[in-house]
Structure 1
Amino acid sequence: MRRVRTTPLALAALPRTVLLCAVLLLLGALASCGWGGPDGDDDGHAPGAPAGVTAAAGSATSVHVMWDAVTADPAVGTYEIYRGATKVREVPGTEHMVDVVRLRPSTLYAFTVRARDTDGRLGPRSREVRARTPVAGAADHSAPTRPGGAQGRAIGSRAAQLSWNASTDDQGVVSYDIYQGGAKIHSVGGAQTATVVTGLRPSTRYAFTVRARDAADHLSAASAVVALTTASGSDDGSGTAPTDFRATTHKGDDGAYYIDLSWVPPRTDGVVTEYQIRLDGQPATSLVWGGTAPRGRATYSFYAGGDAGVGHRVRLRARLPDGTWGGFSAERTVTTGDSGP
């Protein structure tokens, strides 16, 4: 949009009717640029696009969609879930997962998520994720067997690790549903028999159960109750920290030095898409994956200056799918010009 610069003196010389028209045209131009649109969008204040969006079939007629919590000011009031261009669900801002039901078997679906803040501003769509529902089993009238061997342990003050033995089903298990008390809080694929639940409160007792689901949407009986108590809030969060953290340096073609990092993401229910890197005790940069975030070893390099022989301390932490920060990795010390071990 072309910008026109007008001085206050020039405005004062305009006739009143011309000035009114100019103001109306300016307001119209601002609206066309996305300022105060009818949908509540405001580029300066609307929530960002949800990251970490995943979709997995829960049965032949349902898909489980999950995303990372969005941090916004004012806070997110609701999340809107879209199948293609159609809004199919809306959930409170405290939730970041949903089951989209009444789908067709053996069909590929595409989903996106948008956040709306408590002032009504609607943020942009997340990246699109796809999931295919499995074929419905013919004449499947039996539910999967009850998951056995359920057990778990607290990981610090805000997470818990759960595991169970695989269920059996005449048509195959498609997913496992995890319940906290009587509320379903997550689903994982039928080939998965362990998960990490985050977003818990310190010094709190929890009770979890697991149920298996087949393609015909039959649910098994609940597993034995896994009862555990999270640690107090004074722990260092090491259970949710990136592991096997390494740091070296190299000299780039531009003559400057760069710090090279590699690590294994923390185990969480969902994909970690954002990290905070601290250099010499201060936040240095944020790393956000715009595409597919790595589930295995991740790598990243960043600028460290033009001088050799400078020592730095570096570590990082992950933003967990529930929107909270996990624990920091171990701290590593590097020196520019020294490739390290």
Structure 2
Amino acid sequence: MRRAPVPAVLLCGTVLLLSSCAWGGTDEGGERPPGIPAGVTAEAGSATSVHVMWNQVTADPPITGYEVYRGAEKVEEVDAEDHMVDVVQLKPGTRYVFTVRARDAEGRLSEHSREVTATTPQAVAADDSPPTAPGRTTGRAAGSRAVQLEWGAAKDDQKVVSYDIFQGDSKIHSVGGNQTAAVVTGLRAGTDYAFTVKARDAADNVSPAGNAVRLTTAEGDGDSGADTAPTDFTATTSKVDGAYNLDLAWMPPPVDGVISEYQIQLDGQSATSLVWGGEPPEGRSEYSFYIGEKAGETHRVRLRPKLPDGTWGGYSEELTVTTGAS
């Protein structure tokens, strides 16, 4: 069979085709170490803290935890169900480099993730005034595993550096001070939740909580997941060197964290999975792959993302294309 003309490069190219690429080597017992955490981001939460986030890794044996490194030094360990952490006691006005490793039940560690950087803002002298509470917070359930939250911007005599999102009394996430919306994933189906938001400035002064938003996720895992599905999905065919490619384009769903993996379904069957080897493209994504040499063949196609919490999002709408059609 003719291979797709789109190149696949292991661990360093634009796209990794999981159906034809292997992840790393094996240990002395012939077992593979865990996959490398993808979607790693780092953003300053204050003059002395950085919020590090990554996509959960699925492995067999299962992942039991993650290790976060600042340069060569391990600074944090978190449980397998977590995929974010605040690294604290940092210096103001300093650039830091972070990586993440996954650890499985056999104690094996993955390779380090790609490096991400964050620079803490300069501390403000004698700043003991917290920001105001965020404006009115609203939200809605986004299927059975996620909710969408929005809030009004808080005010500060200097600058709001970040917003902390709480589920009950537990802080579950942070976003940058220029954001006033978030999608919280990894929730349980048919469950009641209460969320609040607090603002934080560079001096680590924290505002009062905004109003509580009470939301209930949808029952079961059989909902469409439309709120976590790619949108503006298009599919066309093109002829290259006498064969046909399927050309896809879409907008990723608005979730916190990075979507680095997608599953493509062709004619009701899983055709391939793809992973962005580097930074996923900002905004609209595009991808092409080989589907055959005959004109007049009709295919159905759709795709879904793997969310930062390790679960699959909803499928895009299903489109029908015909090779050679104008």
For 1:197-222, what per-residue CA distance to the aligned partner results, in whole angstroms no more than 9, with x for missing partners?
Answer: 11111111000000000000111011
Partner residue in 2 for 1:239: 227
Alpha-carbon distance in 1 for matches of 2:252, 2:98:
25
**Residue type of the alignment partner of 1:131:** A
CA offsets, 1:16-69, max 9 Å, x none?
xxxxxxxxxxxxxxxxx9633xxxxx7732110000100000001110000000
- Give the corresponding residue for 2:96: 109
Displacement after TM superposition at 1:100 (Å): 0.5
The yes-or-no answer on 1:297 pairing with 2:284 is: yes
Which has a greater percent of helix? 1
Partner of 1:250: 238
Match of 1:11 in 2: none
Seen in structure 2, the aligned counterparts of structure 1 residues 125 and 271 have a Cα distance that, compared at 3 Å, is same
Aligned-residue sequence identity (percent) comes to: 66
- Structure 2 contact 26–33 (Cα < 8 Å) conserved: no
Contact 1:63 1:131 in 2 (8 A): yes
After superposition, what is the alpha-carbon deviation per residue over 1:286-316, rounded to whole angstroms, capped at 9, x for unaligned? 1101110124110000011111111110000
CA–CA distance in 2 between the matches of 1:142 and 1:75? Answer: 45
Please tell me the residue identity of whatever aligns with 2:235. A
Change (3 A) 1:43 1:98: farther
* Runs of 4+ deviating beyond 2 Å: 33-36, 42-45
The aligned counterpart of 1:71 is 58
8 Å CA contact retained: 1:312, 1:334: yes
Question: Distance between the aligned counterparts of 1:130 and 1:66, measured in 2?
Answer: 12
**Partner deviation per Cα, 1:256-313 (whole Å, 9 max, x = no partner):** 1100000000111111000000000000011101110124110000011111111110
SS class of match (1:82): strand
Pick 1 or 2: higher relative contact order, CA cutoff 8 A, min separation 6. 2
Are 1:185 and 2:185 counterparts? no
Instruction: Specify which of 71, 94, 97 is matched with residue 84 of structure 1.
Output: 71
Q: d(CA) in 2 for partners of 1:166 and 1:43? A: 53
Note if contact 2:247-2:287 (Cα within 8 Å) is conserved in structure 1: yes
User: Hey, what does 1:310 align to over in structure 2?
Assistant: 297
Which residue of structure 1 aligns with residue 262 of structure 2? 275
RMSD between superposed Cα atoms in Å: 1.2
Partner residue in 2 for 1:35: 27
- Cα contact 1:250–1:338 (8 A) shared by 2: no
Q: Which protein has the larger Cα radius of gyration, Structure 1 or Structure 2?
A: 1
Structure 1 gaps of 5+ residues are 1-32, 37-41
Whole-angstrom distance in 1 between the partners of 2:30 and 2:72? 21
- The equivalences for 1:1-341 within 5 A come to 35-36=27-28, 44-233=31-220, 234-252=222-240, 254-339=241-326
Distance 2:65 2:244 in 1: 44
Rounded Cα–Cα distance in structure 2 between residues aligned with 1:274 and 1:44: 23
**DSSP 3-state at the match of 1:239:** helix
TM-score for both structures, normalised by structure 2: 0.90
Residue 103 of structure 1: how far off its partner (Å): 0.8
Q: How many residues align?
A: 301
2-structure distance, mates of 1:295, 1:227: 32
In structure 2, what is the Cα distance between the partners aligned to 1:90 and 1:43? Answer: 26
TM-score normalised by structure 1 residue count: 0.86
Q: Are the counterparts in 1 of residues 45 and 176 from structure 2 also a CA contact under 8 Å? A: yes
For residues 74 and 235 of structure 2, the distance between their equivalents in structure 1, rounded to whole angstroms, comes to: 44
Once the two structures are TM-superposed, the CA of residue 231 in structure 1 deviates from its matched residue by 1.2
Task: Tell me which amino acid in the other structure corresponds to 2:91.
Answer: R
The residue number in structure 2 matching 1:16 is none
Structure 2 regions of 5+ residues with no counterpart?
Answer: 1-24
Q: Write the distance in 1 (CA, Å) between the matches of 2:26 and 2:191.
A: 45
